[in-house]
């Protein structure tokens, strides 16, 4: 369908390859990729509707269908046209293990695989570049997230019906409304998800006594996951715009590395926070007093303790033993009282401390990459580390080179304070890793830039490779959803501007989280109360207008250079002034021009283009600018500004805002101090 390819705002679709830290096309140009995760509801079944606030049919996990996620095939054209009009031509396409293999081990949903192929063929027609994301959050829908089929939990002996009573997981469908804000990540530290991740990545070392159908549990789980993703690779192998596969979204170490099972991990603390040993005992039916934590604007705070009594229920089905008792971690005495037998079991193996990245995650990634590349030899492998890295910094202890071919580093980043409190404070933030407060508008934005820069630099521990920030975004239901009543998205625009500005400052590729075709103001992305979609049905006031339904487009839809004939040096856009700047070092061996996306959304009255040298051609109908630099050995630059200058906040206004914010912070800290006294 060549007409659709011609509709690509920045021209032809070309095969990409990796050259050091850059993606490059067939003409040698650096390609800057920016796009979106598609989509939010791909985590849940289409039939029956798997929205997490709906309990009906929840445990009937084998009889589901994901055909129609992220949207029905007949709606694909309008969604793809919209995304292209917004300049988002790079897709992180969500596929869950459950969607492929929900019926049972080795039973693949052919209708879903054919649907995925049809959607990605349509995306190819529109000139999108795509990589497949094998998505999961906290293991599965039945442990409070999404990803793995329900039968994986049953295979190791779990009874999912008792997770609520035993605090093995907090699940929206069984907890009901109101569901605590952003509590779902706490499941990473709870029994069900932590056990499954430990078995998946380290079952050979930590649960050698556990087998499924005669197969060691680690090989069983990894084998089924990998073969399920191979089915997706098989049906998409002839679609050239599908350039690769992620390893696994936000992998977790589970209990691997826990120094003592009776100590609370120094990871994300929110809601009920049992230690690993308390989780294990709760799962076995023993009542426990557990700590309760909350995340506030002042950081994580312990709220007290809570008695949890399973009241005779266990997390294990009748006739199945606790995996960790089976493997000798704990035992009961003659009186039936539990005792720890191996408190440091997860900390050391083979006479040395374990390291999750080197000992478990990378070996899995190697096996997975080999399996995918046996079908698609040219497939890029998008790798990401532990979602809750203990030290806050991605590390390796091995000096062995990483030999995964065509590897891309694809970590995630969110402004933690905004994400968890659903409030954006332009003059106040916490550094995600040091947890130190950051005060001042420019200081906050500089902190964001530095944090993204640190993450980008971590790619060097694997070798020189491109970086894609696979997830980054903001909650739209800020401030108790006030924007949905007022129509004022100023806070969301500021938050997104600071976020994308940090990405641009580091010249990294990215896919925003997320685009949900059926987002609503009432239920957001239909999953655990999250609402991060850049599009909502409830913001769609003009069905024929592609921009209708978009949120914070002032910050999302922005000019950028999609193809650069040389090394990028600087690229940034200020949505307040409308000023865009690009600088690059020209590679004289490349004769192809630079290609830029210039959105009419930002320049409805036209724009003025200034270049350092050479010539350019602006096609406003196609939202495309072609720039031919001269052969001069100088840094080339280009600027775009609105034909009609915009009014921006004055320096005096900003000083008043800073002063008022400072007074507010001081008052808040004074009140907090009084409360503590």
Q: Which pLDDT value is given to residue 644?
A: 93
The active-site residue out of 98, 101, 471, 554 is 471
CATH class of domain segment(s) 33-160+170-252+351-556:
alpha beta
What are the tens digits of pLDDT across the range 263-281?
A: 988 778 899 999 999 999 9
**What pLDDT does 648 receive?**
64
Q: Of 113, 178, 172, which is closest to residue 143 (Cα–Cα)?
A: 172
Q: Answer yes or no: are the C-beta atoms of 463 and 402 closer than 8 Å.
A: yes
Torsion (CA) 640, 642, 645, 646 in degrees, nearest 10: -100
Convert the pLDDT of each residue in 218-260 to its tens digit.
999 999 999 999 999 999 999 999 999 999 999 999 999 999 9
Distance of CA 578 to the CA centre of its chain: 29
The angle, 0 to 180 degrees and rounded to 10, between the axes of the packed helices 217-236 and 191-206 is 100
Compute the distance between CA of residue 271 and CA of residue 474 in angstroms, rounded to an integer. 22
Cα dist. 143→82, 167, 476, 510, 542 in Å?
Answer: 34, 10, 25, 29, 39
Angle, in degrees to the nearest 10, between helices 110-125 and 217-236: 50
- Residue 338 CA, chain-centre distance (Å), reads 39
The second-level CATH assignment, the architecture, of 1-31+560-646 is Sandwich (2.60)
* The token pair that represents 333 in the structure block: 């005495």
Contact by Cβ (8 Å): 635, 585: yes
Residue 649's pLDDT is: 53
Alpha carbons 471 and 249: distance in angstroms, whole number: 10
**pLDDT, position 296:** 75
Residues in the chain: 677
pLDDT of residue 295: 78
DSSP states along 430-490: E-TTT--EEESHHHHHHHHHHHHHHHHHGGGGT-S--BEE-B----SSHHHHHHHHH---H
Query: What is the pLDDT, as a whole number, of residue 394?
Result: 86
389 a catalytic residue:
no
What span, in angstroms and rounded, lies between the C-alpha atoms of 106 and 111?
15
Domain boundaries defined on the chain = 1-31+560-646, 33-160+170-252+351-556, 650-677
Catalytic member of 98, 250, 272, 504: 250
- The alpha carbons of the chain give a radius of gyration, in whole angstroms, of 25
User: What is the C-alpha separation between 499 and 474, in angstroms, rounded?
Assistant: 8
Question: What is the model's pLDDT at position 466?
Answer: 98
| CB-based contacts of 340, cutoff 8 Å, min separation 6 | 261, 262, 277, 329, 330
- Nearest C-alpha neighbor of 506 from the set 556, 568, 560: 568
Q: Are 459 and 469 within 8 A, CB to CB?
A: no
Does the active-site annotation cover 471?
yes
Under DSSP, the state recorded for 401 is P
Q: What is the pLDDT of residue 672?
A: 43
Distance, in Å, from the CA atom of 582 to the CA atom of 75, rounded to the nearest integer, reads: 36
| Per-residue pLDDT, 399 | 86
- Report the candidate in 296, 76, 347 with the shortest Cα–Cα distance to residue 181: 296
Spans of the chain, pLDDT less than 50: 1-9, 650-661, 663-677
Per-position DSSP letters for 143-185, written without gaps between them: GTSB-B-HHHHHHTTB-GGGTTTTTS---HHHH-SSPPTT-GG
Distance of CA 286 to the CA centre of its chain: 36
């Amino acid at each position: 369908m060549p007409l659709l390819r011609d509709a690509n705002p920045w021209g032809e679709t070309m095969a990409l390859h990796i050259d050091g830290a850059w993606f490059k096309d067939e003409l040698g140009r650096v390609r800057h990729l920016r796009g979106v995760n598609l989509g939010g509801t791909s985590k849940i079944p289409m039939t029956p509707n798997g929205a997490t606030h709906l309990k009906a049919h929840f445990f009937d996990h084998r009889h589901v269908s994901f055909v129609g996620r992220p949207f029905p095939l007949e709606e694909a054209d309008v969604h793809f046209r919209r995304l292209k009009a917004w300049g988002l031509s790079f897709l992180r396409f969500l596929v869950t293990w459950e969607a492929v293999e929900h019926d049972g081990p080795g039973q693949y949903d052919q209708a879903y695989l054919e649907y995925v192929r049809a959607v990605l063929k349509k995306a190819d027609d529109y000139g999108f570049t795509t990589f497949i994301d094998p998505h999961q959050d906290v293991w599965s829908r039945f442990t409070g997230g999404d990803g793995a089929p329900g039968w994986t939990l049953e295979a190791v002996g779990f009874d999912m019906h008792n997770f609520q009573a035993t605090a093995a997981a907090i699940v929206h469908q069984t907890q009901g409304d109101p569901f605590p804000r952003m509590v779902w990540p706490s499941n990473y530290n709870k029994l069900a998800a932590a056990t499954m991740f430990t078995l998946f990545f380290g079952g050979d070392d930590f649960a050698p006594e556990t087998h499924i159908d005669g197969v060691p549990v680690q090989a069983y789980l990894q084998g089924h996951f990998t073969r399920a993703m191979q089915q997706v690779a098989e049906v998409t192998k002839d679609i050239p715009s599908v350039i690769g596969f992620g390893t696994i979204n936000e992998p977790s170490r589970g209990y691997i590395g826990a120094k003592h099972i009776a100590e609370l991990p120094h990871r994300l603390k929110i809601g009920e926070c049992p230690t690993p040993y308390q989780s294990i005992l709760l799962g076995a039916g023993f009542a426990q007093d557990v700590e309760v934590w909350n995340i506030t604007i002042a950081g994580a705070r312990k709220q007290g303790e809570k008695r949890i009594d399973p009241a005779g229920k266990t997390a294990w089905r009748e006739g199945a033993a606790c995996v960790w008792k089976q493997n000798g971690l704990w035992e009961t005495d003659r009186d039936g009282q539990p005792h720890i037998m191996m408190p440091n079991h997860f900390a050391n193996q083979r006479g040395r401390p374990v390291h999750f990245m080197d000992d478990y995650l990378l070996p899995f990634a190697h096996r997975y990459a080999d399996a995918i590349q046996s079908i698609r030899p040219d497939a890029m492998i998008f790798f990401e580390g532990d979602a809750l890295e203990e030290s806050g910094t991605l590390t390796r202890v091995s000096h062995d080179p990483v030999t995964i071919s065509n590897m891309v580093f694809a970590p995630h980043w969110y402004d933690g304070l905004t994400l968890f409190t659903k409030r954006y404070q332009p003059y106040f933030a916490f550094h995600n890793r040091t947890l130190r407060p950051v005060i001042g508008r420019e200081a906050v934005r500089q902190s964001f830039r530095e944090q993204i820069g640190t993450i980008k630099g971590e790619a060097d521990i694997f070798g020189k490779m491109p970086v894609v920030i696979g997830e980054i975004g903001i909650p739209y239901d800020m401030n108790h959803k006030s924007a949905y009543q007022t129509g004022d998205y100023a806070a969301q625009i500021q938050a997104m501007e600071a976020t994308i500005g940090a990405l641009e400052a580091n010249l990294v590729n990215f896919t925003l989280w997320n685009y949900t075709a059926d987002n609503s103001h009432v239920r957001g992305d239909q999953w655990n109360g999250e609402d991060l979609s850049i599009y909502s049905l409830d913001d769609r006031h003009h069905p024929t207008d592609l921009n209708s339904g978009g949120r914070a487009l002032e910050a999302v839809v922005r000019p950028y250079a999609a193809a650069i004939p040389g090394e990028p040096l600087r690229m940034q856009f200020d949505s307040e002034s409308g000023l865009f700047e690009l600088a690059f070092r020209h590679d004289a061996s490349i004769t192809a021009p630079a290609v830029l996306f210039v959105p009419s959304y930002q320049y409805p009255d036209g724009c003025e283009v200034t270049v350092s040298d050479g010539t350019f051609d602006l096609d406003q109908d196609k939202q495309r600018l072609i720039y031919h630099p001269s052969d001069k050995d100088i840094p080339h630059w280009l600027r775009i500004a609105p034909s009609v200058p915009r009014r921006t906040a004055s320096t005096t206004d900003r000083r008043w805002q800073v002063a008022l914010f400072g007074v507010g912070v001081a008052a808040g800290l004074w009140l907090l101090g009084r409360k503590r006294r």
